């Protein structure tokens, strides 16, 4: 591998278990196809297409799964810009639609862009150059790439959603919802994933958009079917906890976590990049947020102990939830502040957090502890130095549960 050919400008990070990339030769030309999945997207489809037409992509396909609003008419107007409308049957599976689109592309790079996303002009103009530089990488038939997805109205971006890979590889999607790429074969195998320094913007999490599209109920319906049909796959109970947190009752949350615990002990192979233990850790953290809102501090503390057990050591996430429980019911001393500061300084532990790998949740906790044991002014000064944190427990680093 040489610095002259390695596309270091674009590679932002490598996701485990991928720990290195090899490059060889010089970049070569390769077709780039942007694929937009759409159904009833008249609100935003023009914005999405405006951001990608005329910036060097060889093809722009809009795969429509049955729009009944003005989406089809809007897309038709973009034919003169080279946009290709494609109709695809909807069979209650996002994986099937994505795989349909991959077959339609056939060769070269496929870039999936949701209809409620768009590229700013610099990212759009750099897209083709970025993908051309990646052609020097070895093993492209097993690699996927994740852009930075910035959400309107949210304090953080998603950096682990794979959207870009070679259509002429064995990579295909699995799953009706929250679908994931695998190296498909007689036995599906995990892909390697690298993050790219390319930004996609997204506003699909705006409350009005979620309500209008009824995304939560759709996802829960599809996940319920997946949990039954693919019972050995930990991905589905995890996403059920995540997507259903605000509507599931306590018994259902605990039952899903118990299912994940059993799967973590068996660790069945699914071709997913994440294993059952990782999904269990994530689900415990999300469950703790929902249980905190319910005031079930006993179970929160029990799950915090379980996080320490799963992590085989000092889990910053366990400390976070245990400390929040103590803030809520008074079972906390000033020593919690010192311990939180110590954990916050441990970059290795923070990087492995299932709540936030940048440690913002511990920053919010430190501010709350400063306010409890020092003063409101010291807490505010600390907040001003930190990126804000929002979850079910904190709202922009201020404790919700009082």
Mean pLDDT for the stretch of residues 249-271: 96
One of 3.40.50.2000, 1.10.3720.10, 3.40.50.1000, 3.90.550.10 is the CATH number of 11-208, namely: 3.90.550.10
Find the mean pLDDT for residues 177-188.
95
pLDDT band at 59 (very low <50, low <70, confident <90, very high): very high
Whether pLDDT at 34 is above 80: yes
How high is the pLDDT of residue 353? 95
Average pLDDT, the chain: 93
CA distance readout (Å), 317 to 78, 151, 305: 48, 24, 10
| Residue 190 DSSP one-character state | P
Residue 374 is predicted with a pLDDT of 95
Which of 91-95, 273-277, 331-335 comes out lowest in average pLDDT?
331-335
Give me the residues paired with residue 377 across strands.
none
Which contacts qualify for 247-256: CB closer than 8 Å, 24 or more apart?
Answer: 247/216, 247/220, 248/290, 250/291, 250/294, 250/296, 250/299, 253/287, 253/290, 253/291, 254/287, 254/299, 256/283, 256/287
Could you tell me the residue ranges of all domains in the chain?
Answer: 11-208, 214-399
Question: DSSP string spanning 312-376?
Answer: TS--HHHHHHHHHHHHHHS---THHHHHHHHHHT-HHHHHT-SS-TT-HHHHHHHHHHHHHHT-H
Q: Which residues pair with 15 in a beta bridge?
A: 193
For residues 108 and 217, give the distance between their C-alpha atoms in angstroms, rounded to a whole number: 36
Mean pLDDT value across residues 84-98: 95
Q: Please state the rounded mean pLDDT for residues 387-402.
A: 91
Share of the chain above pLDDT 90, in %: 85
pLDDT at 1 over 50: no
- Say if residue 358 is exposed, middle or buried (CB neighbours under 10 Å; 0-12, 13-18, 19+): middle
Can you tell me the mean pLDDT for 35-55? 96
Q: For 27-184, list the strands marked E by DSSP.
A: 32-38, 59-64, 83-87, 109-114, 117-119, 143-151, 157-158, 164-166, 171-174, 180-183
Instruction: Please say if the pLDDT value at position 2 is more than 60.
Output: no
DSSP 272: -
Return the minimum-mean-pLDDT range out of 154-158, 221-225, 254-258, 282-286: 154-158
Phi, psi of 12 (to 5 degrees): -90, -40
Task: Supply the pLDDT for residue 210.
Answer: 65
CB neighbourhood size of 81 (10 A): 12
Nearest to 196 by CA among 163, 151, 153: 163
Give pLDDT tens digits for 277-287.
999 999 999 99
CA 235 to chain centre: 13
- What's the pLDDT score for residue 155? 74
Q: Is the pTM of this model over 0.75?
A: yes
Q: Does the pLDDT of residue 72 top 60, yes or no?
A: yes
Closest Cα partner for 282 from 378, 357, 359, 188? 357
CATH architecture of 214-399: Alpha Horseshoe (1.25)
Residue 314 confidence (pLDDT) above 90: no
CA distance 32 to 248: 42
pLDDT of residue 275: 96
């Amino acid at each position: 591998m040489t610095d002259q050919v390695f596309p270091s400008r674009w590679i932002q990070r490598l996701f485990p278990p991928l720990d290195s990339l090899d490059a060889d030769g010089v970049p070569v030309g390769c077709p780039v196809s942007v694929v937009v999945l759409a159904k009833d997207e008249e609100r935003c489809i023009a914005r999405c297409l405006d951001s990608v037409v005329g910036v060097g992509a060889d093809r722009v396909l809009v795969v429509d799964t049955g729009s009944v609003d003005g989406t089809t008419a809007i897309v038709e107007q973009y034919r003169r810009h080279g946009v290709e409308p494609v109709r695809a049957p909807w069979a209650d599976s996002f994986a099937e639609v994505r795989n349909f689109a991959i077959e339609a592309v056939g060769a070269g790079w496929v870039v999936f862009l949701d209809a409620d996303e768009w590229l700013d002009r610099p990212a759009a103009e750099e897209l083709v150059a970025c993908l051309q530089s990646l052609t020097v990488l070895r093993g492209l038939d097993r690699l996927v790439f994740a852009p930075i997805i910035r959400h309107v109205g949210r304090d953080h971006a998603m950096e682990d959603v794979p959207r870009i890979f070679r259509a002429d590889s064995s990579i295909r999607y699995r799953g009706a919802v929250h679908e994931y790429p695998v190296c498909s074969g007689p036995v599906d195998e995990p892909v390697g994933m690298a993050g790219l320094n390319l930004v996609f913007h997204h506003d699909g999490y705006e409350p009005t958009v979620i309500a209008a599209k009824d995304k939560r109920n759709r996802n829960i319906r599809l996940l319920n079917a997946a949990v039954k049909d693919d019972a050995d796959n930990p991905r589905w109970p995890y996403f059920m906890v995540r997507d259903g947190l605000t509507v599931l009752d306590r018994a259902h949350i605990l039952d899903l976590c118990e299912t994940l615990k059993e799967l973590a002990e068996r660790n069945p192979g699914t071709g997913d990049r994440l294993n059952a233990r990782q999904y269990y850790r994530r689900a415990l953290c999300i469950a703790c947020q929902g249980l905190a809102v319910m005031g079930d501090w006993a179970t929160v503390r029990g799950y915090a102990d379980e996080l320490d057990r799963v992590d085989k050591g000092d889990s910053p996430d366990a400390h976070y939830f245990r400390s929040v429980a103590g803030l809520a019911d008074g079972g906390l001393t000033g020593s919690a502040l010192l311990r939180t500061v110590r954990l916050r300084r441990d970059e290795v532990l923070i990087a492995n957090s299932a709540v936030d790998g940048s440690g913002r949740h511990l920053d919010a906790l430190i501010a709350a502890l400063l306010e409890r044991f020092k003063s409101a002014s010291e807490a505010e000064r600390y907040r001003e130095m930190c990126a804000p944190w929002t979850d079910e427990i904190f709202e922009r680093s201020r404790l919700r549960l009082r």
